Structure 1
Amino acid sequence: MKPNRQIAMLELIQQVRYEFPFDLPDAQICAGKCVGCPKKLLELADTELCEWESRLKNNEVPLFGDITRLAKLCKNIRRGLARNNLVK
């Protein structure tokens, strides 16, 4: 059975929160040579995730396009974090 759109969005948010290093101190995020700005990438991801968490708490039902857009954004952010050796 496929999850409904709210559950799918929640699962995406949980997966991103688990995988991205939001809890790393700034000194580790910005250590060494940066390719792009991983701190800003994490801030962007956190902002989008917080917005959707709030919207889901208010019983808003995301569209399939919303889920796809967030997934694509997080995929691109993950690529930037990988270039900076912050994710595998």
Structure 2
Amino acid sequence: MSKPSCEQVLQEVIAKVKAEFPFHAPESSICSDHCEVCTKKLLELVEMEIIGWQTRLYQGDKPNFAELNQFVKLCKNVRRALVRNGLLVK
């Protein structure tokens, strides 16, 4: 069995993030008085990264390992913030 390409892994991560992160939740459930970081802005950041990568992939651009690693790290950090703010379960 061969290892998946960076492109395949990126597509899998994007699918998982889109399924798990509350991108389309109403603002009232995303924003609260007790958040440590601005969840809305973090979700917007991840969404823009996803759109950028989907566009690049559609145009035939292939991510390298460093780019993939950077995107995964961003998603992990945002997920951690979402858990701290009570939007996701650990």
Provide TM-score, normalisation by structure 1.
0.94
Higher relative contact order (CA 8 A, sep 6+): 1
- Correspondence for 1:59: 60
CA distance in 1, matches of 2:6, 2:58: 14
Unmatched tracts of structure 1, length 5 or more: none
CA distance in 1, matches of 2:38, 2:62: 32
Deviations 1:23-75 (A, max 9, x none): 10101101342111000010011011110011000010100011100000110
- Correspondence for 1:27: 28
Q: CA RMSD in A?
A: 1.0
Percent sequence identity over matched residues? 42
Is 1:9 the counterpart of 2:10? The answer is yes
4+ residue segments displaced more than 2 Å: none
- Correspondence for 2:80: 79
Provide TM-score, normalisation by structure 2.
0.92
CA distance in 2, matches of 1:28, 1:58: 35
Unmatched tracts of structure 2, length 5 or more: none
**1:68 partner SS:** helix
